[in-house]
Amino acid sequence: MKALCGFLTRWLLEILPGVFVGGPSARVRAALWEDVRRYAGMGCALLAYNPDNEQGFAFETHDHKWRPIDHEGVTLIHRPSDRVAAPSPSCEGWSKASKRRRFGSR
């Protein structure tokens, strides 16, 4: 990771540990992103940049839980839920009030 950080500081500023900002050309940005993806290993990476679109920015990710998705022309970040869905209990014959008390829903 240190080698990657040193490599990126040639073209970008490191404003926080592991956070790089800059305004390289599209060609340099694409080359940097390829190197980041190659050297990131088991780590994750997120690239945000300003293309020529109405939204004014775009995202690319590498091995990240958050994924950019297109929703009617607008790029959104899909964040998967960390909550584990509880199995729905089958409580036939119980009153609604009893079900609420037992399973904590109101």
Q: What is the CA radius of gyration of the chain?
A: 22
Mean pLDDT of the region 38-55: 84
Q: What percent of the chain has pLDDT over 90?
A: 18
Taking alpha carbons only, the member of 16, 51, 18, 97 closest to residue 8 is 18
- The residue written with tokens 């940005």 in the block is 29
* pLDDT tens per residue, range 86-95: 555 555 666 7
In 1-96 the beta strands, taken as DSSP E runs, fall at 13-16, 19-21, 45-49, 58-62, 67-71, 74-78
> Which domains can be identified in the chain, with CATH numbers?
2-78 (3.30.70.240)
CA dist 92 and 86 (Å) reads 18
Mean pLDDT of the region 92-106: 67
Q: What is the pTM of this model?
A: 0.63
CA dist 82 and 80 (Å) reads 6
CA dist 44 and 52 (Å) reads 26
Mean pLDDT of the region 39-44: 81
Q: Is 93 left (phi over 0), alpha (psi -120 to 50) or beta?
A: left
